[in-house]
């Protein structure tokens, strides 16, 4: 019987693991096949406190992991396939094992969204991607398109200027949602240009992306636009499929936790992007991971004290 299982290994999951490990709870972290969460797919992180020169996302996550392991967290790089959280003990399954625990901290994060338009799925990995750090280098001296108007889109586009001969941002409105510093950098970059009030309706190409069908939302005109690669950066979907029917989710699929890190189920706590529709920062996720671990520790203390009282003197 585990005392704490953490599902997920981004800043939220690994901070929960650091705190739970330092409380001597020997947490088991089911980290997912690829540990580290979304920061493993980013480049420079400039706003995580403590790194005045910035730090690469993967390097930051390696540090989180080493810190958790130093205090006794056990980290397994496996995906959780199903859970049973409505009965005690709480049960968590992976392809090869079934674990039981008194508490579970859900920190499964969120995954990049796709446009869901014709051609997108067929051309994935052939010029269509959601990860500039993974795939950008394939498009040296090519024309690259980025879709989206938020910080992710600006970050991806600026990174892609290292490779592409031109980077065009296509946005459905005429103003960007991204923070001012990112907007200023993007708008002043010589390799970048913008197409406003426009959506992508289709991705065109046989073996590789060749063009996009674009539609101007103001006048409805539709036209083909040549591009060698497209990176989609239109936000994220919370990773909550395995919790459906057990944890309360909102309409967008985020786990609902009206009171701090507690969920609708006893002993189950939540942290990070999987229930954060608003901030979605590494630092806020880490803070939530800390809170979830402290709440789990309090819950365990009360639970184990109650069991002691029930035992005959
Ligand atoms: P986001 O802020 O939600 O932005 C998503 C963008 O995609 C918006 O511009 C949105 O358009 C557009 N969009 C959404 N659905 C679309 C669709 N179906 N077709 C076309 N466009 C679509 O997501 P994000 O950029 O991933 O950022 C998420 C959070 O992480 C934010 O809080 C952000 O500040 C943070 N973040 C911070 C950094 C950093 O500080 N370095 C880096 C990355 C992310 P509308 O604007 O019209 O809604």
pLDDT of residue 43: 76
pLDDT of residue 125: 86
pLDDT of residue 133: 82
Instruction: Name the residue at shortest CA distance from atom 14 of ligand 1.
Output: 234
Instruction: Report the alpha-carbon distance of residue 148 to residue 296 in Å, rounded.
Output: 38
57 lines ligand 1 (CB under 6 A): no
Whether the upstream peptide bond of residue 306 has omega within 30° of 0, thus cis, is no
Phi, psi angles (nearest 5°) of residue 32: 90, 160
All residues at 6 or more sequence positions from 52 whose CB lies less than 8 Å from its CB, including other chains: none
Identify the burial level of 175 via C-beta atoms within 10 angstroms of its C-beta, where 0-12 means exposed, 13-18 middle and 19 or more buried: exposed
Instruction: Name the residue at shortest CA distance from atom 13 of ligand 1.
Output: 234
Tokens representing residue 304 in the block: 């184990």
pLDDT of residue 258: 85
**Which positions of the chain have pLDDT values less than 50?**
none
Ligand 1 centroid to residue 80 C-alpha, Å: 28
pLDDT of residue 280: 85
Identify the burial level of 189 via C-beta atoms within 10 angstroms of its C-beta, where 0-12 means exposed, 13-18 middle and 19 or more buried: middle
Residue with tokens 């690259």: 144
149 lines ligand 1 (CB under 6 A): yes
Q: Is 135 known to be catalytic?
A: yes
217 lines ligand 1 (CB under 6 A): no
pLDDT of residue 56: 92
- Residue tagged active-site, from 59, 134, 174, 184: 134
Q: Is 131 known to be catalytic?
A: yes
Q: Is 261 known to be catalytic?
A: no
pLDDT of residue 307: 83
Ligand 1 centroid to residue 236 C-alpha, Å: 8
Instruction: Name the residue at shortest CA distance from atom 36 of ligand 1.
Output: 151
Ligand 1 atom at minimum distance from 45 CA: 41
All residues at 6 or more sequence positions from 6 whose CB lies less than 8 Å from its CB, including other chains: 13, 16, 17, 20, 27, 28, 29, 30, 73, 104, 105, 107
């Amino acid at each position: 019987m585990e005392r704490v299982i953490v599902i997920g290994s981004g800043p939220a999951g690994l901070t929960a693991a650091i705190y739970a490990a330092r409380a001597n709870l020997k947490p088991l972290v089911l980290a997912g096949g690829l540990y580290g969460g979304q920061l493993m797919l980013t480049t420079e992180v400039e706003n995580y406190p403590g790194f005045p020169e910035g730090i690469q996302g993967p390097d930051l996550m390696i540090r989180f992991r080493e810190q958790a392991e130093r205090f006794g967290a056990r980290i397994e790089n496996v995906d959780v396939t199903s859970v049973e959280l409505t009965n005690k003990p709480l049960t968590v399954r992976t392809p090869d094992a079934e674990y039981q625990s008194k508490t579970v901290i859900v920190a499964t994060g969120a995954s990049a969204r796709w446009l869901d338009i014709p051609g997108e799925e067929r051309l994935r990995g052939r010029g269509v991607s959601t990860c500039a750090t993974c795939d950008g280098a394939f498009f040296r001296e090519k024309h690259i398109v980025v879709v989206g108007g938020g910080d992710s889109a600006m970050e991806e586009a600026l990174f892609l200027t290292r490779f592409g001969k031109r980077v065009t941002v296509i946005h459905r409105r005429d103003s960007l949602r991204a923070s001012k510093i990112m907007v200023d950098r993007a708008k002043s970059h010589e390799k970048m240009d913008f197409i406003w009030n426009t959506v992508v309706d289709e991705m065109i190409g046989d073996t590789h992306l060749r063009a996009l069908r674009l539609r101007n939302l103001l006048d409805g005109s539709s036209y083909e636009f040549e591009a060698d690669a497209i990176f989609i950066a239109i936000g994220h979907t919370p990773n909550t499929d395995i919790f459906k029917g057990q944890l309360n989710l909102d309409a967008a699929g985020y786990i609902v936790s009206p009171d701090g890190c507690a969920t609708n189920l006893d002993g189950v706590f939540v942290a990070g992007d999987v229930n954060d529709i608003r901030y979605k920062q590494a630092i806020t996720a880490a803070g939530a991971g800390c809170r979830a671990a402290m709440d789990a520790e309090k819950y365990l203390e009360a639970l184990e004290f109650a069991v002691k009282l029930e035992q005959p003197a």
